[in-house]
Amino acid sequence: MSYIIDRRLNGKNKSMVNRQRFLRRYNQHIKEAVADAVTRRSITDMERGEQISIPTRNTHEPVISHGQGGKQHRVFPGNKEFNTGDQLEKPKGGGGGSGSGKASNQGEGEDDFRFFITKEEFLKYLFDDLELPNMIKKTLSQSKEFKTRRGGFVSEGTPNNLSVVRSLRNAHARRIGMGAGKRRRIRELTATIDALLADGAGDSNADQINALREEILSLEKKLKRLPFIDQLDLRYRNQIKVPTPTSKAVMFCLMDVSGSMTQDVKDLAKRFYLLLYLFLEKNYEHIEIVFIRHHTSAKEVTEEEFFYSRETGGTIVSSALKLMNNIVQERYLSGGWNIYGAQASDGDNWDDDSPLCASILAEQLLPAIQHFAYIEITPHEHQALWYAYQSVAKAYSQQFATAQIRNPGDIFPVFRELFAKERYKEAV
């Protein structure tokens, strides 16, 4: 007796819980792998999964078993030339070697346990690192918002979307189409009757005429029986989802690359730009990024150069602000660009330059842009630039945020204002 059951529609994610347990257990490893990936990837390339590898010894489940050594007998298939009593060289490099049945257990040289995490999980670990409030996490990892819009007509839908005009027009067309043959026939028959009557030999043709008239009658009956409206005729207004139209944004990343900025500091800065990018990405359809690095003079560079090339020399911050201003004037003043600036530095600046920075920012940049954020990545005392910026921050508290940062968790508060200003009020 057998029962055959179709289980294909049952849930297929039975292992989800166990998978989550595993991820939680190796949280630390995964976080490290995500942190590595962040350093490796471009700012614009955060929204995909990642391969995680964990050293096998960490995921290994110990059991009591025999080790190598001792006196073993092993049976193998496929003897070709061995005879009893043959002595065979043991493979070098200790242990059982290729001959032992155990070789295959550990074989293939895979030292790491590897698996993939999804895009959502990747972002989750990233956000954990940045200590984002939950609401923000959600909005950032969600896909685009849609609004529904009319999109033509379709033949299936709900009654409230029924388009009466379209449906009746279809019904009319159908009735014309379906009756065409019969009407033509009626016209032909009428013509024949007229011709017969015109012949004058009315009596002799009376039977024929009657037959023809009967046929006309039956055709007319059939015509009447054509349904006035049919399921086929119904048309519904179609609603389609379109991404909410949002405008364009440009993000300026400014960074000091003088000798005092170490790679660690740059990596921290990268998180800062990254977070701004992710935020902008959710709000704007199209984003451009401009990277400006500076020491004593500023230069527009690629992302790669921005984060990883080394420079030495003094620091004149105003050069970068000037360049940013020039670029804004040249490229982004018209065309509805939303402009965001993000500056990272270790706080060093040429002393006389700081007041100049503040004035460029206050007088030229801030009036033209949406938001400017400045982070100072240093465990030390603030320097002149910080104090100069504080005065600007007072005047433009809505648009300008500053913060001192020691670890990634400090980054988010910089954006608090920014997020709060938009539609995230409830979260912060």
Partner 1 sequence: MTPKPATDQREYLSTDSDWSFALLEDYDREIARIAKSYGLDTYPNQIEIISAEQMMDAYSSVGMPIGYNHWSYGKQFLATQKSYQRGQMGLAYEIVINSDPCIAYLMEENTMPMQALVIAHACYGHNSFFKGNYLFQTWTDASSIIDYLMFAKHYVRKCEERYGNEEVERVLDACHSLQNYGVDRYRRPRPISAAEEKLRQEEREDQMQRQINDLWRTLPTHSTDEVKNKPRKFPEEPQENLLYFLEKNAPLLAPWQRELVRIVRKISQYFYPQRQTQVMNEGWATFWHYTLLNHLYDEGKVTDGFMMEVLASHANVVHQPSFDSPHYSGINPYALGFNMFRDIKRICENPTAEDRDWFPDIAGKDWLETLHFAMHNFKDESFVQQFLSPHLMREFHLFSIYDDDERAHYEVEAIHNDSGYRKVREMLARQYDLSVREPNIQVWAVDLQGDRSMTLRHTMQDGTPLSEDVHEVLKHLNYLWGFDIHLETYKDGKQVNKQSCPAMTVAH
Phi and psi (nearest 5°) for 42? -75, 155
Which residue from 137, 114, 139, 135 is spatially nearest to 126, judged by alpha carbons?
Answer: 137
Q: Binding to partner 1 by residue 13, rule CB under 8 A?
A: yes
Among residues 55, 101, 151, 227, which is the contact residue for partner 1, using CB under 8 A? 101
For residue 115, the surrounding DSSP H or E stretch is strand 112-117
List the structure tokens of 294.
């500076």
Site for partner 1 in 360-379 (CB under 8 A): none
Q: Does residue 31 touch partner 1 according to CB under 8 A?
A: no
Strand partners, 105: none
Per-residue CA distances from 309 to 42, 98, 132, 140, 255 (Å): 15, 47, 30, 30, 12
Least distance (Å) between residue 260 CB and partner 1: 43
Q: In this complex, which beta carbon is closest to partner 1, that of residue 50 or of residue 256? A: 50
- Choose, by CB under 8 A, the member of 19, 169, 184, 222 that binds partner 1: 19
The residue among 10 and 312 lying less far from partner 1, judged by its C-beta, is 10
CB of residue 1 vs partner 1: minimum separation in angstroms? 5
Q: Under the criterion CB under 8 A, does residue 93 sit at the interface with partner 1?
A: no
Using CA atoms, how far apart are residues 340 and 289, in angstroms rounded to an integer? Answer: 10
Among 32, 41, 113, 370, contact with partner 1 (rule: CB under 8 A): 113
Please answer whether residues 343 and 373 qualify as being in contact, where contact means their C-beta atoms are separated by less than 8 angstroms: yes
Q: Which of 247, 217, 414 is nearest to 339 (CA)?
A: 247
Report how far Cα 27 is from the mean position of its chain's Cα atoms.
23
Interface with partner 1 in residues 50-89 (CB under 8 A) = 59-80, 82-89
Cβ proximity to partner 1, 118 vs 302, nearer residue: 118
Contacts with partner 1 by CB under 8 A: the residue count is: 62
Would you give the DSSP letter of residue 139?
H
Return the number of the residue (82 or 381) whose C-beta is nearest partner 1: 82
Q: What is the CA radius of gyration of the chain?
A: 39
- Indicate whether 15 belongs to the interface with partner 1 (CB under 8 A): yes
Q: What minimum distance in Å lies between the beta carbon of 332 and partner 1?
A: 43
Q: What is the largest CA-CA distance in the chain?
A: 127
- As measured in angstroms, the least distance from the Cβ of 125 to partner 1 is 16
- In degrees and rounded to multiples of 5, residue 387 shows phi and psi of -70, -35
Q: Smallest distance from the beta carbon of 292 to partner 1, in angstroms?
A: 42
Q: Which is nearer to partner 1, 87 or 134 (CB)?
A: 87
Lookup: tokens for 27 = 């949280």
Distance from C-alpha of 82 to C-alpha of 256, rounded to nearest angstrom = 72
> Could you tell me the smallest distance in angstroms from the CB atom of residue 55 to partner 1?
13
Residue 31 Cβ vs partner 1, minimum distance, rounded to whole Å = 17
Single out the residue of 48, 106, 111, 116 in contact with partner 1 (rule: CB under 8 A). Answer: 116
Q: Which is nearer to partner 1, 65 or 231 (CB)?
A: 65
3-state secondary structure of 286: strand
CA separation for the pair 226, 145 (Å, rounded): 47
Residues 6 or more apart whose CB falls under 8 angstroms from that of 305 comprise 291, 293
Min separation Cβ 120 and partner 1, Å: 16
Cα separation, 19 vs 26, in Å, equals: 11
Query: What is the closest distance, in whole angstroms, from the C-beta atom of residue 86 to partner 1 in the complex?
Result: 4
The DSSP 8-state label assigned to residue 330 in this structure reads: I
Helix (H, G, I), strand (E, B) or coil at 372: strand
* Interface with partner 1 (CB under 8 A), residue from 93, 104, 143, 381: 104
One-letter amino acid of 318? S
Which of 8, 224, 225, 380 binds partner 1 (CB under 8 A)? It is 8
If one asks whether residue 92 binds partner 1 (CB under 8 A), the answer comes out as no
Minimal distance, residue 273 CB to partner 1, in Å? 32
**Region near partner 1 per CB under 8 A, out of 4-12, 234-242, 243-251, 407-415:** 4-12
* Residue 237 β-bridge partners: 153
**Which of 312, 270, 273 has its CA nearest to residue 295?**
312
Query: Residue 16 or 232: which CB sits closer to partner 1?
Result: 16
If one asks whether residue 24 binds partner 1 (CB under 8 A), the answer comes out as yes
Binding site for partner 1 (CB under 8 A): 1-8, 10, 12-15, 17-25, 59-80, 82-90, 96, 99-101, 104, 113-116
